[in-house]
Amino acid sequence: MASNQSPVKPWAGRFAGETHAFVEEFTQSVSFDRRLYRQDIQGSIAHVRMLAHCGVLPEDDAGRIVKGLESILSDIEADRFQWRVELEDVHMNIESALAERIGDVGKKLHTARSRNDQVATDLRLYLRDAMDELRALLLTLLQSLCALAEREAETIMPGVTHMQTAQPVTFGHHLLAWCAMLQRDEQRLLDCRRRTNVLPLGAAALAGTGFPIDREYAARLLGFDRVAENSLDAVSDRDFAVEFCGAAALIMMHLSRFAEELVLWSSPQYCFIELDEAWCTGSSIMPQKKNPDVAELLRGKTGRVYGDLMALLTLMKGQPLAYNRDNQEDKEALFDAVDTVRNCLRACCGMLPGLRVQREAMVAAAARGQGTATDLADYLVGRGVPFRDAHAIVGRVVQFAIGAGKDLSELNIEELRRFSGRIESDVFARLTLQGSVAARDHVGGTAPRQVRLAAQRLREYLRQALAQEISE
Ligand code: ARG
């Protein structure tokens, strides 16, 4: 354990005097980057093993360093580690503690390494694990949405454009639209993972090192797919973090859209769904209220993640090669994006199973607003009327129906034939909501049969994705 005396900074050699207290506080990152301790120790262990493997360090030294690092790890996990602001960041805190514990041999750890390649390595390890976790949450969410979509394959609801009744759709189809968005999000994370999972170690400060190192060996120990090809790039770019925040922003954009629909649908004006009480909150003044606050916060937290993306893009803009201290500012934004997306995905996973679907309200709403007008036009097209003329005829029928206070399907055959002699009584099968959705029976269409097929395909995709994840 560290003594209470102020420790010597690892870089203190060329300085004659003390660092100003303000500067210590201003430049420190340990208050937030200590969260990287596990990756930092993992990276150091791999580095030192590689040095021993290459004969840069005796095996015996490497063994003692690894032991020392492991004891630090268990102290940190048990909350017995004393973090010191004077030691700036997670890296120097751990390195100093190592020398304190195991003596001079601990001072050999930083051979052939710089904090520049060290921090880039830590961050990539951290983000790789975080993305795996977020992907697993996305897959879980997709599984429950997919199951719900299959259950609601026949449920009819109003499909809307411009928030106006457009055409009836099935609720299962609507849910599968959400799934399509989340599936792309999941793939985006996988894609970003490939570019993140690259080893910076060996780049040292910026130019590489004169020691005979084996970067591939270290990469294998850490599970990286390959080594970074250019040392200047390896220590300085954070595009992987920007890319992740872009993917995270898109996840949040999608979640906020679902959240908005949940808010609308659970309102007394819609009553399409009911949210579980455990996932709602009340009002301190209005006793009747049951508010969808979780959904609203999903919507609200989206802005944070957009902000994180903007922060990182702006951070990187105009930075000359190679490493600059600006890069220390990458962490809080990245951590915030990871934490926010993780929490929001957990919220969705938790809220969804308790969602009750009010099928009658959905179908009743679909029956308002002349949602089968396109079907009537399509029917006329089938009878040889050019679509543009059919559109005009149905426009007049709709005008009449609205005046009569009826839905198209409630008009009788005489009323309909006033607008076109081509209309026969077989038209009514097309004007029902069920007839309308069943007709859209092609890949991507809303017909219940297609919803079941699409859900099946998704289920198979998820099965494979989850199996892959377990084998990784
Ligand atoms: N705390 C620093 C960071 O987060 C570590 C690297 C510092 N390197 C340096 N040469 N000052 O980026």
pLDDT > 70 in the chain, percent = 98
Instruction: Determine the Cα–Cα distance for residues 346 and 44; give it in Å rounded to an integer.
Output: 32
pLDDT at 188 over 60: yes
User: Distance from first CA to last CA of the chain, Å, rounded?
Assistant: 37
Q: Are 275 and 266 in contact (CB under 8 A)?
A: yes
Residue with the smallest CA separation from ligand 1 atom 2 is: 328
Residue with the smallest CA separation from ligand 1 atom 3 is: 328
Cβ of residue 118 lying under 6 Å from some atom of ligand 1: no
Cβ of residue 119 lying under 6 Å from some atom of ligand 1: yes
| CA 89 to each of CA 29, 142, 209, 241: distance values in angstroms, whole numbers, following the listed order | 5, 39, 23, 19
pLDDT at 115 over 80: yes
pLDDT of residue 339: 98
Q: Which atom from ligand 1 is nearest to the alpha carbon of 29? A: 1
Residue ranges of the alpha helices (H) in 113-167? Answer: 115-151
Instruction: Determine the Cα–Cα distance for residues 109 and 264; give it in Å rounded to an integer.
Output: 58
Question: Residue 327: which pLDDT band, with cuts at 50, 70 and 90?
Answer: very high
pLDDT at 3 over 90: no
Q: Are 189 and 135 in contact (CB under 8 A)?
A: yes
Mutate to test the pocket of ligand 1, among 119, 124, 201 (most ligand atoms within 8 A of CB): 119
Ligand 1 geometric centre to CA of 325 (Å): 6
Q: For 69-107, how does the pLDDT look when each residue is reduced to its tens digit (9 = 90+)?
A: 999 999 999 999 999 999 999 999 999 999 999 999 999
pLDDT, mean of residues 216-234: 98
Ligand 1 geometric centre to CA of 306 (Å): 25
> Which is the CATH superfamily of the domain at 373-431?
Fumarase/aspartase (C-terminal domain) (1.10.40.30)
pLDDT at 226 over 90: yes
Helix, strand, coil in percent for the chain, rounding step 5: 65, 5, 30
Enumerate the active-site residues.
162, 283
Question: Residue 10: which pLDDT band, with cuts at 50, 70 and 90?
Answer: confident
pLDDT at 358 over 80: yes
What H or E segment, with its residue span, contains residue 199? Answer: strand 198-199
pLDDT, mean of residues 384-406: 97
pLDDT of residue 7: 78
Contacts of 173 (CB under 8 A, 6+ apart): 149, 445, 446, 450, 451, 454
**What pTM value is reported for the model?**
0.96
Cβ of residue 375 lying under 6 Å from some atom of ligand 1: no
> Which is the CATH superfamily of the domain at 116-212+223-365?
Fumarase/aspartase (Central domain) (1.20.200.10)
Instruction: Determine the Cα–Cα distance for residues 283 and 176; give it in Å rounded to an integer.
Output: 33
Q: Which atom from ligand 1 is nearest to the alpha carbon of 88? A: 1
Cβ of residue 325 lying under 6 Å from some atom of ligand 1: yes
Q: For the domain covering 18-111, report its CATH number.
A: 1.10.275.10
User: Where exactly are the structural domains of the chain?
Assistant: 18-111, 116-212+223-365, 373-431
Q: Which atom from ligand 1 is nearest to the alpha carbon of 331? A: 4
Cβ of residue 236 lying under 6 Å from some atom of ligand 1: no
Q: What is the dihedral of CA 459, 464, 470, 471, to 10 degrees?
A: 170
pLDDT at 1 over 60: no
pLDDT, mean of residues 272-290: 95
pLDDT of residue 5: 64
pLDDT at 472 over 80: no
pLDDT of residue 277: 96
pLDDT, mean of residues 224-242: 98
pLDDT of residue 4: 54
pLDDT at 371 over 50: yes
Cβ of residue 116 lying under 6 Å from some atom of ligand 1: yes
pLDDT, mean of residues 321-338: 98
Mean predicted lDDT score pLDDT of the chain? 96
pLDDT at 468 over 90: no
pLDDT of residue 369: 94
Backbone torsions φ then ψ of 439, nearest 5 degrees:
-70, -25
Cβ of residue 215 lying under 6 Å from some atom of ligand 1: no
